[in-house]
Amino acid sequence: MGVEFQMFLIPRENAFRPDARALATFVEALRAENWICDPRSPSFAEMSFRSRRDVHAAKTGAFVAKLADLVQRLRTGDGFTPLPLVDLATFFTEQRENDLEIVWPVTNFGERLRYPLDTDSPADDPEETYYDLQLWLPRDYVYKTSEQIAPFADTRCACGAELQYDPEVEGRVLFHTSRMHAVCTQCGKPFDAATRATTVRNAWTNEPSSVPGGATFRFALVIDCGKCWPDDAGGFHVHPELRRLCEAHFGRAFYEIANAH
């Protein structure tokens, strides 16, 4: 099957979820700095969107995945819509109560875009490099765990109520992870994931470290490389200029977690 790789860039304030205007201007900043394709540029016509999922990005370069019924999604492709090209602030305002995953699929990297990691494109021919640049925007926390990302020792609120839940139990999918309530359903107190630490193991050395918040967040930039990730035994990171863009735009520090699975 092969190992797949994701890089999560997460705000230090794990409860942070940007407002509509900040998200809209961030998308424009990503386009301006050539991290994502601008459908108004001449090179956009050279991009390839062939899969059932990716065809939804053919007009604007990105698609929106919403919480959807798994059976219907597999059968019909429902749950994906193109990201609007204009009036993004209006779009994000209208969708503020929804879970959203914004995906810019890249299946023929070439020389059209800047590679989002601080290393070279992994394929001998850049046209064979593929990855997704994604924005994850859950209403509650995404609670990502894996062999490298340990769960919290305690997932209960101070009042004793369980905060963790799994929407996929009902057959409705997005992010393919458990969630944690941002506000306790029993006592109404906001939950701050940054107050909980967990062990995260380095994807290359397996060295453990304690990370406040772990990979639990309400907003993240995600680089999903699938099986097309750099063969670099020393490890790699989010491109420093992409990280600086995130930190400058949203006015807060970000940290990264690499997850090979």
Task: Report the number of distinct structural domains present in the chain.
Answer: 1
d(CA 79, CA 63): 10
Given a contact cutoff of 8 angstroms between Cβ atoms, the answer to whether 192 and 15 are in contact is: yes
Helix, strand or coil for residue 117?
A: strand
pLDDT score recorded for residue 122: 80
Token couple for 8 = 């999560």
**Measured CA distances, 166 to 79, 94, 135, 172 (Å):** 19, 25, 20, 9
Give the 3-state secondary structure of residue 29: helix
Question: What's residue 1's pLDDT?
Answer: 43
Query: What is the pTM (predicted TM-score) of this model?
Result: 0.92
Q: Tell me which amino acid residue 205 is.
A: T
Domain encompassing residue 30: 5-260
Which pLDDT score is estimated for 2? 66
- Phi and psi torsions of 207, nearest 5°: -70, 135
Residue 72 is predicted with a pLDDT of 58
Per-residue model confidence as pLDDT tens for the chain (261 residues): 468 899 999 999 999 999 999 999 999 999 999 999 899 888 888 888 888 888 999 999 999 988 765 545 555 556 788 999 999 999 999 999 989 999 999 988 767 799 999 998 887 777 788 999 999 999 999 999 999 999 999 999 999 999 999 886 655 568 889 999 999 999 999 999 999 999 999 999 999 999 999 999 999 999 999 988 887 767 899 999 999 999 999 999 999 999 987
Q: Write the Ramachandran bin of 59: left for phi over 0, alpha for psi from -120 to 50, otherwise beta.
A: alpha
